[in-house]
Amino acid sequence: MKMHFLLLVCYILLAFKGATQSKSETSHADSTPLVLVNGLLTSIKALVMHPDAIQSIDVLKGDNAVAKYGRQAKYGAIIIHAHKHIKLYRLTELMDKLNWPDSLRKYRVLVDEVLIDDPALILVQESEISMLGTTNHVDWPDFCATPTSEKFINILRRKKADQ
């Protein structure tokens, strides 16, 4: 079931990429579909949610997506409906719940060591976090662009063995 979900999401993203790019366009972060979970804007990278928490997924492409969600959906829209009992948190809500000090809230944010460009898009199912902490160790190919003294908030998803 989990593998089918991941394959479905990959297929959808690839389908949108191919369907929305002209021959002159190159792959760019702005050419990704709009992603909403229970009406909350997020991105696939910024979503920490167990596949079993999903009740349904709707996919809109082209003019249908733009008609419903405006220009922000010009590359399509993936609408995820979680089961009603699933509680999702924005990063700030989760930090409030866990009483994180203000001094840590200024750090850039990683999800599974992937930098999230807009932390306001992070949407988390709390039970899917194996660790929420700070780090200054990041295994990025282009890490030399980041000062080694910089600290990050790192959200690690639960792995299969943890579940």
What are the pLDDT digits (tens) for 118-146?
A: 999 999 999 999 998 888 876 655 555 55
Per-residue model confidence (pLDDT) at position 2? 52
Q: How many CB atoms lie within 10 A of CB 41?
A: 15
Domains of the chain by residue range: 2-22+30-82, 88-162
Looking at residue 96, its pLDDT comes to 94
Return d(Cα 113, Cα 68) in angstroms, integer: 34
How far apart, in Å, are the Cα atoms of 77 and each of 41, 72, 127, 151? 11, 9, 26, 33
- Please report, in angstroms and rounded to a whole number, the separation of the first and last CA atoms in the chain: 14
Question: Which backbone phi and psi does 108 adopt, to 5 degrees?
Answer: -70, 160
Instruction: Indicate the range of 22-26, 52-56, 60-64 predicted with least confidence.
Output: 22-26
Total Cβ atoms within 10 A of residue 91: 23
Element (H, E) at 152: strand 152-157
CB-neighbour burial class of residue 22 (10 A; exposed 0-12, middle 13-18, buried 19+): exposed
Alpha-helical runs (H) found in the chain: 2-20, 62-69, 91-97
40 beta partners: 37
Higher pLDDT, 56 or 115: 56
Q: Do 88 and 38 meet the contact criterion of CB atoms below 8 Å apart?
A: yes
